[in-house]
Amino acid sequence: MANATPSPDDGMALWRDLVESLSGGKLVGDDRYLHVSALSAAQRPMLAHLVAMAGCEPSSVDVIKVSRKLVRVSLLSYPRFFDDPFPALVASWRLDLDRACCEKRQYRANGNPPILHRKEEMLAESDPRREAFAALTQAAEAHGLFRDTTIIGHRDQWLEELRARGLSLVGHTLVAAVTTDEAPVMRHRTAMARRALSTPMQALWRHGYLVPEHTLFDYGCGRGDDLAALQSIGLRASGWDPHFRPEAPHCEADVVNLGFVLNVIEDIGERSEALRKAFALTRKVLAVSVLVGGRTAIERFRLFRDGVLTARNTFQKYFAHAELGQYLADTLGREGVSVGPGLYFVFRDDAAEEDFLERRERSSPLLAPTPPARVQTEAQPRERKQRATTRVRKDEWPAAYDTFWSACLELGRAPHSDDFDGADALLAAVGSPTRALRKLIERDGDAAMKTAAARRHGDLLVFFALNLFERRRSVSLRSPRLRTDVRTFFGTLDKAEAEARTLLFSLREVRVIAEGCAQAARAGLGYHVEGDALHLDARLVNALPPVLRVYLGCAGKLLGEARDADVVKVHESSGKASLFRYDDYEGAAIPHLIERVKVDLRRQRVDDFQYGDEHPPQPLYGKSRYMHPSLEGYEAQRQFDEAVRGLAGWTEEGYGPALEALGDALEALQVPPGLTLVAGGRPARSRR
């Protein structure tokens, strides 16, 4: 125990002086670590006072740890701090200055003591030893040694990590321990034969980039199955692969795909060079996809460099989704747009990125939002007394007016010449947009126009709120259409962002999420358990109220688009969202769960649960509950679900009965046209 026992007031004063005087050092949570050599002459008397309180030898203290919130200081003994690259802790004295007590611990007899990383951060800026220590840290980061912080804090686990990655230490230098007679990495063995478009190509197709006016280049095209499929429908697609098409030229293209290439390159420098080369060929958008996996995926194979070697001697680096996004930004200097798990789009310029982000957030008209209090469109007439009007017969109405009206309902306002191709000709045909819109409202009323304006206002709020959440700098109203939208619905960009910021911050309130779920349920979107969660078909995400679309968009920053799932669950009170993927969700009347991903927005954490071997796939009963009557096949699915609930042995408990419990009665049901009964037993859909 301490030789000197200060009063709580003295201890509080000493701790406060330390917190206020210390700067620099290594920060871990609320604690600051400094080597005693980094303390100034004014701080050394405080250290001497702490040493006297702890009753230890001054020479045994190497590092001081000061909590910035608790009235607590620890003195740590690392006698080989400068000699060992990752020194072990020998002893510690934890001083609780608020209660005036000291706790001492010895680690000499501990066969697996804690060890220290990033020790250069604890030294003074002028210390000449920082450079060598920092080089070691950079080398460890390059090999991915710090990726999982839960296993590197103690000596045995740390040494095992080094061994598994084929590394060893010579002084403060990491060296490869891989023997020269080891078989080379067989990259070409990772190329897959495909019967359908790969995941990144499907995403490019879904978002409108695989069209005749665009050229496409597949960088690392493997066997070329994607190219063959696209060329067969007349698209201008070419590709290169170092093994299967080494002689093919590298071609510039509007769209470039780098699909599942980065994760098979074991050389870190070559990996980043491949990314830069692919982007250099890109005129409009680069699609980058990798395999996503956590510690479970890594532990199945032998660690090698920053990834693993498989039994087939292929290399795989399993990225975390957010890790890939950061890697793209660091390597290319442009931030990618999250599109799906392990899939990003990187745009050549800000205008193309802004256009994509804005188009992606346009809502479906399934849910008619409540018009906000002050939404006005440029072409809406001022309030005036009703006057008698002569209603024009349909056969006397110019066709251009109907086209103009459709454009108004899509935009939520009267169109301008920059809004779409052919707008100038349309405006010339109808004359004054204001007068034309007034005639249309006199004919059909203003309810549809108000609904369209409210929907567009909500879309813009979602767009700006998600840009604020992602801290995107590329959005600067480069699109004339977007500039017109902002003037019409908000007045200025500052007002638009202020309203979006209010919406974004409202996600912290449970009642806001709960009301959004209730509003969606009232519109027939999904299955709502009040006080718990809203479950819905992922195809309905863009029909949700803006607050839920922003909520799911924030989750997508950590994982990818919620639309990429089959079923989405919005938790009302826990700050979480869950995404479910099923084997043949749209093709099976009772699909089987193959993956569940839970995104914890408060803790910025993603948990992935796979179903198959260890966890039996769960059948999804009552799929129609998550659908909307507007979705194809809804009515047939609803009738089938009602028939299933009428079977003997049916129970609503848990996830419902096992399929076997329903027996032959299930097999005897009439399956909706175009669907199979179940998808169980067939291979799960490939995520590549």
pLDDT single digits (tens) 177-218: 544 345 566 555 555 555 578 989 999 999 999 999 999 999
Backbone φ and ψ for 401, nearest 5 degrees, come out as -70, -40
Query: What pLDDT is stored for residue 518 in this prediction?
Result: 96
305: left (phi over 0), alpha (psi -120 to 50) or beta: left
pLDDT at 87 over 70: yes
State mean pLDDT over 500-517. 95
Provide the token pair at 523. Answer: 């519109």
pLDDT band at 385 (very low <50, low <70, confident <90, very high): very low
Beta bridge partners of 77: 91
> What is the distance between the alpha carbons of residues 332 and 156, in angstroms, rounded to a whole number?
37
Helix, strand, or coil here: 223? coil
Query: What pLDDT is stored for residue 192 in this prediction?
Result: 52
pLDDT at 608 over 70: yes
> What is the distance between the alpha carbons of residues 461 and 664, in angstroms, rounded to a whole number?
52
Query: What pLDDT is stored for residue 477 in this prediction?
Result: 74
State mean pLDDT over 348-362. 90
Q: For residue range 141-186, what is the model confidence (pLDDT) as tens digits?
A: 888 888 777 667 888 778 877 776 777 787 888 876 544 345 566 5
**147-183 as b/e, with b when 16 or more CB fall inside 10 Å?**
beeeebebbeebeebbeebbbebeebebeeeeeeeee
pLDDT at 380 over 70: no
User: Which range (361-365, 373-377, 535-539) has the least confidence?
Assistant: 373-377
pLDDT at 474 over 70: no
pLDDT at 685 over 70: no
Which helix or strand (DSSP H or E) is residue 547 part of? helix 546-559
Provide the token pair at 73. Answer: 């200081």
Residue in this structure with the two tokens 């849910």, named with its chain if needed: 367
pLDDT at 7 over 60: no
Please, is 1 exposed, middle or buried when counting C-beta atoms within 10 Å of its C-beta (0-12, 13-18, 19+)? exposed
State mean pLDDT over 214-236. 94
Query: What pLDDT is stored for residue 180 in this prediction?
Result: 38
> What is the distance between the alpha carbons of residues 461 and 469, in angstroms, rounded to a whole number?
12
User: Which range (65-74, 237-246, 532-541, 548-557) has the least confidence?
Assistant: 65-74
Query: What pLDDT is stored for residue 181 in this prediction?
Result: 43
Residue in this structure with the two tokens 């299967």, named with its chain if needed: 244
Helix, strand, or coil here: 363? coil
Query: What pLDDT is stored for residue 504 in this prediction?
Result: 94
The amino acid occupying position 80 is R
State mean pLDDT over 409-414. 92
Which helix or strand (DSSP H or E) is residue 484 part of? helix 480-489
Nearest Cα to Cα of residue 278 among 220, 191, 350? 220
- Each domain of the chain, given as residue ranges in start order, spans 8-122, 130-176, 194-348, 398-500, 534-540+557-678
State mean pLDDT over 357-382. 55
Q: 480-489 and 493-505 are packed helices; what angle lies between their axes, rounded to 10 degrees?
A: 70
Q: For residue range 534-557, what is the model confidence (pLDDT) as tens digits?
A: 999 999 999 999 999 999 999 888
State mean pLDDT over 109-137. 88
Give the C-alpha distances (Å, rounded to integers) separating 377 from 242, 370, 438, 449, 650. Answer: 55, 16, 12, 9, 53
Query: What pLDDT is stored for residue 377 in this prediction?
Result: 37
Query: What pLDDT is stored for residue 525 in this prediction?
Result: 94
pLDDT band at 681 (very low <50, low <70, confident <90, very high): very low
Helix locations, 361-418, DSSP H? 399-411
Nearest Cα to Cα of residue 536 among 574, 606, 585? 585
User: Which range (91-105, 482-496, 529-543, 586-600) has the least confidence?
Assistant: 91-105
pLDDT at 367 over 50: no
pLDDT at 599 over 60: yes
β-pairing verdict for 533-537 and 337-340: unpaired
Could you write out the DSSP letters of every residue in 405-432?
HHHHHHHTS---TTSSTTHHHHHHHH--
> What is the distance between the alpha carbons of residues 347 and 70, in angstroms, rounded to a whole number?
47
Percentage with pLDDT > 70 across the chain: 85
Query: What pLDDT is stored for residue 370 in this prediction?
Result: 41
> What is the distance between the alpha carbons of residues 160 and 157, in angstroms, rounded to a whole number?
5
CATH of 194-348, one of 3.30.300.30, 3.60.21.10, 3.40.50.300, 3.40.50.150: 3.40.50.150
Q: Is the pTM of this model over 0.85?
A: no
CA angle 673, 678, 682 (to 5 degrees): 120
The whole-angstrom distance between residue 64's C-alpha and the CA centroid of its chain comes to: 38
> What is the distance between the alpha carbons of residues 412 and 489, in angstroms, rounded to a whole number?
9
Q: Which residue has the higher pLDDT, 429 or 200?
A: 200
Query: What pLDDT is stored for residue 397 in this prediction?
Result: 59
Nearest Cα to Cα of residue 674 among 567, 554, 589? 589
> What is the distance between the alpha carbons of residues 249 and 244, in angstroms, rounded to a whole number?
13
Query: What pLDDT is stored for residue 684 in this prediction?
Result: 37
Could you write out the DSSP letters of every residue in 433-472?
HHHHHHHHHHHH-SHHHHHHHHHHHHHHHHHHHHHHHHT-
> What is the distance between the alpha carbons of residues 256 and 277, in angstroms, rounded to a whole number?
11
Nearest Cα to Cα of residue 518 among 629, 374, 632, 367? 367
State mean pLDDT over 640-659. 86
Q: What is the mean pLDDT of the chain?
A: 83
> What is the distance between the alpha carbons of residues 258 and 200, in angstroms, rounded to a whole number?
9
User: Which range (161-170, 227-236, 424-433, 452-461) has the least confidence?
Assistant: 161-170
State mean pLDDT over 347-360. 91
pLDDT at 683 over 80: no
Provide the token pair at 403. Answer: 């086209």
Nearest Cα to Cα of residue 533 among 558, 546, 556, 516? 516
Reduced 3-state DSSP string for 237-272:
EEEEECCCECCCCCCCEEEEEEECCHHHCCCHHHHH
What's the alpha-carbon Rg for the chain, to the nearest Å? 31
Backbone φ and ψ for 598, nearest 5 degrees, come out as -110, 125
Nearest Cα to Cα of residue 169 among 146, 129, 130, 139? 139
The amino acid occupying position 432 is S
Query: What pLDDT is stored for residue 314 in this prediction?
Result: 80
β-sheet with 26-28: strand ranges across = 26-28, 31-35, 63-67, 72-77, 91-96, 101-106
pLDDT at 376 over 70: no
Half-sphere exposure of 16 (CA within 13 A, CB side): 7
